């Protein structure tokens, strides 16, 4: 999987190199990629506890 601030956790289905295509995890989302995605998104949306104190609510 790949990660980033906008991508959160994105599964990698394949990698192409020198005219060859290599499938990763049969093109399916792996168990750990899904767990990481769910945890991070849950913290971002407030449905899971933020154990690190990273979330700060900005009141408009």
**Taking the domains of the chain in order of start, what are their residue ranges?**
2-45
Q: What pLDDT score was predicted for residue 20?
A: 94
Q: Where are the beta strands (DSSP E) in the chain?
A: 2-4, 8-10, 14-17, 20-23
Residue 1 has pLDDT above 70, yes or no: no
Q: What is the mean pLDDT of the chain?
A: 85
- CA 22 distance to own-chain centroid: 21
Beta partners for residue 15, in sequence order: 22
What mean pLDDT do residues 20-40 have? 86
Give 30: exposed, middle or buried? Use CB within 10 Å, 0-12, 13-18, 19+. Answer: middle
């Amino acid at each position: 999987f790949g990660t980033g601030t906008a991508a959160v956790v994105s599964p990698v289905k394949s990698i192409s190199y020198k005219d060859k295509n290599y499938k990763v995890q049969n093109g399916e989302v792996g168990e750990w990629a899904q767990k990481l995605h769910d945890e991070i998104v849950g913290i971002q949306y407030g449905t899971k506890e933020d154990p690190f104190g990273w979330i700060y609510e900005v009141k408009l």
